[in-house]
Structure 1
Amino acid sequence: MAPSKIEQGHGRVVLHNDGYANVFSDMSATYPLKLLSPQLPSPNVSVVYMLSYGGGLVGGDRVVLDVEVHDGARLAILSQGSTKVFKARPGQRLSARWQLHPVTTQRLAVRVAPRSALFLLPDPVTCFRAAKYHQIQTFHLSKDSSAVLLDWITSGRKSLGEEWVFSKYLSLNEVWIEGKRVAKDSLLLEERDSLPGPLTPRTLAESLAPYSCYATLIMYGMLLEDTICHLTAAYTAITVFKQHAPPPLLWSLSPICEGRGCVVRVAAKETEHVRSWIGNALKDLEGVLGVDVYRRAFA
């Protein structure tokens, strides 16, 4: 039977474990989405790189990816470099429809079966000047599955003087366990043209200063017990004193599911500070994913 046709920008990943090693029963994608899976020494851990042609997404691009993990398999979804979002690709003439609605959209739907695990550990999103980006990610888990969802954004191309100068960024993350929603995190960053009355609205750069990177980390499951325990202890021990200037990095932790999961938020003046902090916070994943996969995510 011939395979069904995939819509433009759609992809699908289905991972099983046959009792000996992980096996992809489906891994397919169409432009502008591209999926790659390298060979790994561990038979029960797989990696899929989620890429885009041309080094980024442009206004009007639509990407939809469905992921399923079964039979105790462990899957890490990574990227190679930040997800760049352009208003338009250089030299490209947008159609009339794209000129009216030049929003770049990326949707991810994940289902993780019992004893299975999914680790979404991409590089951050970087929106260029005037870009509009919507990202919607949904996780459907079993009470016996495990998952890590990392969602983070940078201020833009600081080397070119672009800091928080995109037009709109919308990110929505939802986690469901056994059909019950246990976490919903929404972030909307958008320039305001005006405010009621004589007030002048602050720019995004003014509102988000002095930090240039914001991250949300959602974790759940047995494989994350040690990590959640260590972070909870570290957060409980924090003593807050009045400071004369914002610190280089801030973080917070909110437990979910009676402590079986948590939502961590991080903000820092430099993206690499956030990367380093998350890499240290998830150090226990070396024993879950293997040193090679861990280093691929946080090198």
Structure 2
Amino acid sequence: MPERRACPTSTSASFSELSYSYPLKLLSPPSHADAPGPVRIVYVLSYGGGLVGGDKIELDVEVQEGARLVLLTQGSTKVFRARDPSNRTQQHLHANVHAHSLLLLLPDPITPYAESYYSQVQTFTLHPSASAIILDWFTSGRAARGEVWALGKYRSANEVFVQGKRVVRDVLLLEQGELGRRMQPYACYANVFLFGPLVQGVLRALKERYEKIEQMQRSKPDEFVWSLSILGKAEKGRNGEGGDGAVVRCTGRETEMVRLWLKDALSGASEVVGRDVYDKAFV
């Protein structure tokens, strides 16, 4: 079972354990000098750039007190066609984020090919003083080959627990039928979950941006649409140190449109991990 443990040592961070097995590979480049704290990056890669039917990935992440971990990928995760629908591709991730630590999960999107079957479960356990930005997004498929919402089945579930209390349970299920009609004209959908004191600057900027949106009736769908839901102060720890949480949902006619918006909207995270580190996301 692949596992990562990030531990701080004064102003730097190291891994007490970084292990993996096929079909997964974990790579961690050297630390960046401009990082404002004990920050490390891990790239989560798959052999061949994608996953096939029957692949099952289980990933455990432990971010120790005071550490800051950024999880990235290099290109979208492709989910290939499954010959047998019962032989689906699975990914399970569990992250435990300790006191005063930070997890940024900023992968490239999942790209499900035609007749692919994919199931993902991600569970995050946060200390009340921990922070996290969790990005979960996917595309319509290989549009260049005419595979637009041609997947067989796609399921993604995200759960977030703070101080033992579940504060988010978000489940998405897509199945064939009239999927293309329901999902078009959009080609990419994204959900972002934000928690904790270190991301309050990002959240404030999102609130200001959202307040400027003009609500008006339109004759045709917008090129890009987004929403912001505040979880609120009720989800803080007993000492009030957690800060507000939020869920951002967005969709666009093109994946690149969504990518550029996310990079700009979440750019305040560069203040807690460093500009060089943040710029490695959304490339």
Report the TM-score when normalising by structure 2.
0.93
Structure label with greater radius of gyration = 1
Helix, strand or coil at the partner of 1:297: coil
Helix, strand or coil at the partner of 2:62: strand
Structure of greater relative contact order (alpha carbons < 8 Å, 6+ residues apart): 2
Aligned counterparts of 1:16 and 1:279: Cα–Cα separation in 2: 27
Aligned to 2:163: 178
What does the per-residue CA deviation read over 1:152-171, in whole Å, with 9 as the maximum and x for residues that have no partner? 00000111111000100000
Q: CA deviation at 1:286?
A: 1.5
Aligned to 1:63: 57
Helix, strand or coil at the partner of 2:121: strand
Q: What is the aligned-residue RMSD (CA, Å)? A: 1.3
Correspondence 1:139 to 2:124: yes
Moved over 4 A (4+): none
Correspondence 1:271 to 2:265: no
**Cα pair 1:13 1:26 within 8 Å, conserved:** yes
What does the per-residue CA deviation read over 1:227-272, in whole Å, with 9 as the maximum and x for residues that have no partner? 1111112212322111111110000011114271100000100000
Aligned counterparts of 1:228 and 1:87: Cα–Cα separation in 2: 38
Aligned counterparts of 2:85 and 2:66: Cα–Cα separation in 1: 45
Q: CA deviation at 1:107?
A: 0.5
- Please list every run of 5 or more consecutive structure 1 residues that lacks an aligned counterpart in the other structure: 1-9, 89-93, 193-202
Aligned to 1:104: 89
Aligned counterparts of 2:268 and 2:13: Cα–Cα separation in 1: 22
Correspondence 1:261 to 2:245: yes
Q: Match for 1:28 among 19, 23, 38?
A: 19
Aligned to 2:39: 45
**Cα pair 2:10 2:38 within 8 Å, conserved:** no
Aligned counterparts of 1:218 and 1:234: Cα–Cα separation in 2: 17
Q: CA deviation at 1:100?
A: 6.1
* AA in 2 matched with 1:292: D
* AA in 2 matched with 1:245: K
* AA in 1 matched with 2:165: K
Aligned counterparts of 1:78 and 1:257: Cα–Cα separation in 2: 28
**Cα pair 1:113 1:145 within 8 Å, conserved:** yes
Identity of aligned residues (%): 46
Aligned to 1:238: 213
Alignment of 1:1-299 (within 5 A): 10-41=1-32, 42=35, 44-88=38-82, 99=84, 101-192=86-177, 203-258=178-233, 260-299=244-283
Change (3 A) 1:286 1:20: closer
Report the TM-score when normalising by structure 1.
0.88
Q: Bigger shift: 12-21 or 273-282? A: 12-21
